Structure 1
Amino acid sequence: MPFAEHPFHETHPLAGRFRSFNQVQTPSAGRTLARWCAGLGLLVLIAGFLPWTQNIRSTGTLTTLRPQDRPQTVPSTIAGRIERWRVSEGQLVQKGDTLVEIAEIKDKYFDPELLLRTREQLAAKEGSLRENVAKGQALESQQAALRTGLQVSLNKARNKVRQSQLKVQSDSAELVAVRADYAIAQAQLGRQQKLYDQGLKSLTELESRRLKFQESTAKLQSVENKFNGSRQELLNARLELSSLDAEYQDKLSKSESDRRGTLAYQYDTEGQISKMRNEYANLSIRAGFYRITAPQDGYVVRALKAGLGEMVKEGESIVTVMPDKPQLAAELYVQPMDIPLLAVGRKVRLQFDGWPALVFSGWPGTSFGTFGGVVAVIDNLDSQGRYRILVTPDPADEAWPKPLRVGSGVYGWALLDDVPIWYELWRQLNGFPPNFADADKGGDEKSGKAKSKKDNATNPDETEL
């Protein structure tokens, strides 16, 4: 506004005397700046009462939830020499596909017909075992036959002893009768001699009586000899019966010794057969290790051994394979003071490296290019002063981008309680930790209400009071 038009120009006594009063204008920028400052202050004051979602920020890398989905190195089970490569780096392979072929380097396994020859040795040992078993069965049959023969011989000898006893009894009775006849003949001869001496009997009758006496004497001698022979036969039969047990026991002991020797050889052969079967199985399994195969579907990432003819040791890694279609998870590290605020199932927002995003951490609903996740694992042991958590895709949110690769960077923040912006600024300035989530408070309130209802139900009188 020109100075001439201003009320001050009209009232001031020097207004007409000085020309500079006509050129001076009153500045309006101060009032404009004051208005803008007042408006901005009011806006900041109002914005201080807007809701702000507290969060726990963390950085990490992209990994997999399952250990079998992580990159793995395929080792060689046996020592060998690389003979042929079947794959190239970056190639997709299926489970069981041959990656590398190796050749044997130990002279013990150089024979190309080693499996066949081992099988022939095993078959020969098995045949020897069968014959040995048959020999043992034959010895058992021999022992059974010897025991049967022993019983037959013993019965036969016992029968002979009984026959000899009966014969002795018969001869003994006959001897008694003959001795009686002898005594009678002797008495008759004496009486006949007396009668002959008296002249009552003739010499012919006396000689006839003497002849009968001689016959009785001879018969007595014969019967005594026969009786003694029967007794000797009985003694021999008893001796034979006693010797049979010792004789057959010797044969049985020898047969048992042969049988036990056969069993010992049989058990030793069975042990050798078991050892050869083990060796044959090991050789069969070892033959399968000449081809190193893919443990699962995936991509060949890197060949750790190059060229042909290179030696590899037992257990040495040859190639790295990245499993196909892994179950991705974000590996984040959280400060110990924030761990009590997290729990399995907590919602998390993630931003991936190389993926365009516009992030407002306090207003997750207005962010662009972020993806949802859920806390799946919280470590119970810290790692260099921080705790590791694994976050998996949220099934209720947008799916993670397919081009993501294991090892890429991840920036994430776990969503907590909603508070005013002024409170969040005050908390940040004072270094206080975030609040617990409303869900936990709600759960505590619900549990408290449930507990009070339970107490009221158990004490109805107190409720009425």
Structure 2
Amino acid sequence: MLHISDNTKPDQSLARFKTIQTLTNKKHYKILNKIIIGISILGFGLLFLPWTQNISGTGAVTTLKPNQRPQSIQSVISGRIEKWYVQEGDFVKKGDTILYISEIKEDYMDPNLVSNTKNQVDAKKQAVQSYESKVASLSNQLRAIESEKKLKLEQAQNKIKQARLKIKSDSIDLIAVNTQLKIANTQYNRSLQLNKEGLKPMTDVEEKRLKLQDAEAKIINQENKLLSSKNDFINSKVEINRIIAEYSEKVAKSESDQFTAKSSQYDASAQVNKLENQYANYSIRNNMYYIRAAQSGYINRALQSGIGETIKEGTAIATIMPSAYDIAVETYVNPVDLPLIRKGEKVRVWFDGWPTIVFSGWPNASYGTFGGKIVAVENFISDNGKYRILIAPDPNEPKWPAQLSIGSGAQTLALLDTVPMWFEIWRTLNGFPPNYYKKDAKPTKEKK
């Protein structure tokens, strides 16, 4: 190295300072140095200790089932408050009367409304029975008409048969008369010839002429009888058509009356059903004047007060807290932590008012916490920007305090993976979420 200049490099070590020389020489400063070195080594070792990742949340004590939570007693109908049977803080059983209200609608103010409606129902039922009797009478009348029609048709058929036989008899008689006419004409001609020859007297010829004229007259009379028999036959056929038309009209009229009676019967039956519906509604409405407790519990607060105050349908009258309920905790977690929450996972819970020492990351060293299990995870974000989680007591852990009241505060800690402490510090400083994935256990090979 070339020595061009006489300037030397200044001493840059800490030993050139007087304070450092003092620390090095004094004994108690040497002990302090050892303590600092020991604390540094201890802090470095703590970085490799196991740390349990967790998700914390804040919530309140509630009930597991919706029907076990504080509820409001509502009025199904509108009315006017007449009398209170309970006061705030009273214990009521299911079915106990809470309040009595009176009617304010003019359609239901009649004190005999139910009995009058019952009388209307009975009257309509009697009308239905009357129509049923009328329908039955018309059915009997139809059967009588059909029977009479059948007999009349048989009578007309017999007349047709008689007319047909009369025609046949008159036709035979006409043939016989024609034969007699021929015989009489032959006898007359023979007598006339014999008279001309002088063998027969004139009186015999005149006698034969009279017989011939009598035979001609019988032919005319017999033809009239035959025509009369044919007319009777035609009249018998016409009578059958008249009978069919007459009784068809009677049947049509009876059937029309029957259908009218049935229509009136069905209309009366419909009115009976409507009146029975009204009667049932009025009877049920009378029972609604007494507002009763839907379940056993304690009256927390009366929401309506004065006597004479009118209320509408669905108006809340008082709040009741069920006496029997399954306790649970509802807590809220951030959206970034929701994918880590699973139904059935274990959760540590501590309540306001109970002495608690919690070491986040070392659950085994905590004191005063209780075990819980996730039973429901809400899939829609709440108004506070977080997701609601419902936690029930873990049956494998000690029971939760019996003195807990609904609505008291609670804090939760959901346990996740176990990682080194340095990893947790690094994750927190970088704003990374806890581990999303868990390593699956390797499947064991089956023995052959």
1:274-423 map, 5 Å: 274-383=273-382, 384-423=384-423
For 1:262 and 1:93, how far apart are their aligned partners in 2? 56
Residue aligning to 1:445? 441
For 2:436 and 2:397, how far apart are their aligned partners in 1? 23
> Which ranges in structure 2 are unaligned for 5 or more consecutive residues?
1-24
For 1:28 and 1:94, how far apart are their aligned partners in 2? 81
For 2:291 and 2:31, how far apart are their aligned partners in 1? 80
**Closer, same or farther: CA 44–164 of 1 in aligned 2, 3 Å:** same
For 1:417 and 1:249, how far apart are their aligned partners in 2? 97
For 2:430 and 2:265, how far apart are their aligned partners in 1? 87
Provide Cα deviations, 1:99-138, integer angstroms capped at 9, x if missing partner.
1111111121112221111111111111111111221122
Residue aligning to 1:107? 106
TM-score w.r.t. the length of structure 1 is: 0.85
Residue aligning to 1:20? none
For 2:241 and 2:429, how far apart are their aligned partners in 1? 117
Match status 1:234 vs 2:233: yes
Match status 1:177 vs 2:173: no
Task: Out of 263-272 and 392-401, give the one that drifted further.
Answer: 263-272
Kept in 2, the 8 Å contact 1:62–1:405? The answer is: yes
Letter in 2 for 1:323: P
For 2:227 and 2:257, how far apart are their aligned partners in 1? 45
Displacement after TM superposition at 1:172 (Å): 0.6
SS state at 2:229 partner: helix
Match status 1:122 vs 2:121: yes
Residue aligning to 2:155? 156
Residue aligning to 1:6? none
For 2:435 and 2:256, how far apart are their aligned partners in 1? 89
Residue aligning to 1:58? 57
For 2:426 and 2:186, how far apart are their aligned partners in 1? 161
For 1:445 and 1:368, how far apart are their aligned partners in 2? 32
For 1:267 and 1:234, how far apart are their aligned partners in 2? 49
For 1:237 and 1:426, how far apart are their aligned partners in 2? 123
Letter in 2 for 1:430: N
Residue aligning to 2:78? 79
Displacement after TM superposition at 1:45 (Å): 3.7
Displacement after TM superposition at 1:304 (Å): 0.7
Match status 1:434 vs 2:396: no
For 2:101 and 2:385, how far apart are their aligned partners in 1? 45
Kept in 2, the 8 Å contact 1:417–1:436? The answer is: no
Give identity over the alignment, percent.
Answer: 45
Provide Cα deviations, 1:45-77, integer angstroms capped at 9, x if missing partner.
444333322211111122222211221112111
Kept in 2, the 8 Å contact 1:377–1:391? The answer is: yes
1:450-465 map, 5 Å: none
Displacement after TM superposition at 1:35 (Å): 4.2
Letter in 2 for 1:397: E
Displacement after TM superposition at 1:305 (Å): 0.4
For 2:49 and 2:255, how far apart are their aligned partners in 1? 103
Residue aligning to 1:16? none
Match status 1:260 vs 2:256: no
Letter in 2 for 1:128: A
SS state at 1:266 partner: helix
Displacement after TM superposition at 1:78 (Å): 0.5
For 1:96 and 1:64, how far apart are their aligned partners in 2? 22
For 2:171 and 2:370, how far apart are their aligned partners in 1? 127
Displacement after TM superposition at 1:41 (Å): 3.6
Provide Cα deviations, 1:200-231, integer angstroms capped at 9, x if missing partner.
22244334334433443443343233222212
Kept in 2, the 8 Å contact 1:86–1:99? The answer is: yes
Match status 1:88 vs 2:83: no
SS state at 1:345 partner: coil
Provide Cα deviations, 1:268-312, integer angstroms capped at 9, x if missing partner.
112211211211121122122112121222221111100322111
For 1:296 and 1:181, how far apart are their aligned partners in 2? 118
Task: Out of 117-126 and 184-193, give the one that drifted further.
Answer: 184-193
Letter in 1 for 2:255: E
Displacement after TM superposition at 1:421 (Å): 3.0
Provide Cα deviations, 1:132-188, integer angstroms capped at 9, x if missing partner.
122112212222222232222222212211210111011111111111102211221
SS state at 2:298 partner: strand
Letter in 1 for 2:435: N
Displacement after TM superposition at 1:196 (Å): 2.8
> Which ranges in structure 1 are unaligned for 5 or more consecutive residues?
1-25, 458-465
Displacement after TM superposition at 1:79 (Å): 0.4
For 2:158 and 2:303, how far apart are their aligned partners in 1? 93
SS state at 2:174 partner: helix
For 1:434 and 1:108, how far apart are their aligned partners in 2? 67
Kept in 2, the 8 Å contact 1:416–1:436? The answer is: no
For 2:268 and 2:64, how far apart are their aligned partners in 1? 53
For 1:243 and 1:63, how far apart are their aligned partners in 2? 91
Kept in 2, the 8 Å contact 1:81–1:104? The answer is: yes
SS state at 1:154 partner: helix
Letter in 1 for 2:225: K
SS state at 2:376 partner: strand
For 1:108 and 1:221, how far apart are their aligned partners in 2? 92
